[in-house]
Amino acid sequence: MQPHLFTPLTIGSVTLRNRIGMSPMCQYSAVNGFPTDWHLMHLGARAAGGAGLIILEATAVSPEGRISPFDLGIWSDDHIDALARLVKLIESLGAVAGIQLAHAGRKASVGRPWEGGKPISPAAGGWPVVGPTAEPFATNYPIPTPLDTAGIAKVINDFAAATRRAHAAGFRWIEIHAAHGYLLHNFLSPLGNDRSDEYGGDLRGRARLLLEVTDAVRAAWPAELPLAVRLSCSDWTPEGLTITDTIEVARMLRERGVDLIDCSSGGIAPGITIPVREGYQVPFASAIRHDTQIATAAVGLITRPEHADAIVRNGEADLVLLGRELLRDPHWPLRAARALGHDLAPPPQYLRAW
């Protein structure tokens, strides 16, 4: 029998050649939002390695939405041609090109991880950050400016404009980043949002910005192309978001034309202990898939081919996204196919080694 991991997945007009995707992973190697040769090498290698879906890293919809000065950007029409070059490479190698649209919110304006990842002062080239309230991410982080009505409208318009640019660049998959403590998750979580207006209060109020962004993206994105949302399904503390909350949010998103929930967790505040272990987030993908009837992607310490195949075979998720494992091994899908007894050939340039 063909391993379930290597069966095609069709959403709308897009068919992935298998159920393996590369999770968005920031490379902190862009220049003024533009990709560099590093991105060509990094993304092309994973597409050549056999993944069915390659999702570009968190790509900022505005300059102030960058995590670091070295993030990819899609806030200008000038970015379209450079991103289109990445799309052309990925698709030429048999994978579907996706992009994650993001706004870092109060976690913006920090340095690269290998340079300490500390907040950048305005004198050193940093920029003002925004959020639902004036509460900083941590004690050493800048105080964000709370978004008013005009600021919220700008965020929504920025996501919509970025969506149109993504379509112009040829992407066939969009993911809205609403996880890991960045702007949309910051609004969604009670740990990050104590507003008293229509963008705060109960779960539906806190979800309002995410829903309005989703409506704007869906309206700007062709109906036949997949739209995904990455959620932090749990804040890993009883005071924060729980899987029960996230199931309800997933229902709201499904009603607005979202096709898949990318099920991650955490990131809303420092100091929260997360019980990291193999496949620790898979139960979130399974619960959302079964309780809301929406497709899900599982992510998080999935490293063994047999485990990834079982996730799909057992109906826990429709898609398996790999992050660090694909950093370690760009050819993981080819190796997984061999381990599972499936015939997945490499690019013809590598056949002599097969």
Catalytic one of 182, 199, 280, 350: 182
Greatest distance between any 2 Cα atoms in the chain: 64
- Distance from CA of residue 322 to its chain's centroid? 12
Collect all residues with Cβ–Cβ distance below 8 Å to 284 and sequence separation of at least 6.
233, 234, 243, 246, 263, 265
Name the DSSP class of 95.
Answer: P
151, 168, 240, 282 from 212: Cα distances, Å:
13, 22, 22, 28
CB-CB neighbours of 128 under 10 Å = 12
Q: How far is 26 from 228, CA to CA, in rounded Å?
A: 18
The first and second tokens of residue 160, run together, are 């919509």
Residue 111 is classified by DSSP as: -
User: Quick check: is 280 catalytic?
Assistant: no
Q: Which two tokens stand for residue 239?
A: 């005071």
Looking at the annotation, which residues are catalytic?
182
